[in-house]
A and B are shown apart, each in its own frame.
Chain A
């Protein structure tokens, strides 16, 4: 059981928008920054969002992040078939003194 809770799967049509939630507690999301990672099939994860809502260079502005209280959200607009991947949230857990990941969400672009 992951410390951070994500929906196992989400789906939407090409061109549409989807959001992926990540729920935690005051010891992790509530008091630390959240990052998001995209893992395309058969590849290593890649950083998508850091510090809750910042995008590294090269990540299109179709991807966005937000945080409120003990939850965070990844948003993807203008869905493309190439966005089909597993998405993970991550943060630091001050009680565990360790990093923690969400269980991952599989995005299907129908």
Chain B
């Protein structure tokens, strides 16, 4: 079974750094893109960016470029989403997804269970 399992919920203070993870299993991790989607409280889904673990090619949405960093460690089939300095507006549920297609532009299946990030002083 193809699965994406994310790290647990985080509570952080503004200005702190954070790295959340997403472990893929049941498929060839280096042969598929993996991406991140944000959902702020009570709001819709936002595409953040994707990475191809095979060669670390990374693409960001213009809205998130420079705000977050996406990386992957193919030795442990894990992708990461990282912030250098969190803001209260980063409070959201973050989902990892597996985009289908050689360019990463296809549909998303599966989805991780989500990681809730709360940033509050």
Contacts and interface: CB of A to CB of B under 8 A. Distances in A.
A2 B43 CA distance: 11
A100 B60 CA distance: 12
Interface string A88-105: 101010001111111110
Interface stretch (A16-24, A31-39, A75-83): A31-39
B111 A44 contact: yes
Provide the main secondary structure of the chain A interface: strand
A50 B107 contact: yes
A45 interface: yes
Contacts of B107: 33, 35, 47, 50-51, 90
**Residue of A2, A46, A47, A99 with most partner-chain B CB within 10 A:** A99
Nearest to B64: A98
B95 A44 contact: yes
B95 A99 contact: no
B105 interface: yes
A96 B49 CA distance: 12
B106 A104 contact: no
Contact of A45 (B45, B46, B60, B99): B45
Interface residues of B, number: 25
A60 interface: no
B44 A32 contact: no
B113 interface: yes
B59 to A, nearest CB: 7
A44 B46 contact: no
A33 B106 CA distance: 7
B114 interface: yes
A5 B56 CA distance: 32
Kindly list the 5 A-B residue pairs having the minimum CB-CB distance in the complex, ordered from nearest: A99-B47, A35-B107, A92-B105, A50-B107, A104-B44
6 contacts: A35-B108, A37-B45, A47-B107, A99-B35, A101-B37, A101-B44
Given A45-B45, A98-B49, A101-B37, 9 more contacts: A32-B105, A44-B95, A45-B111, A47-B108, A88-B45, A92-B106, A98-B60, A99-B35, A99-B47
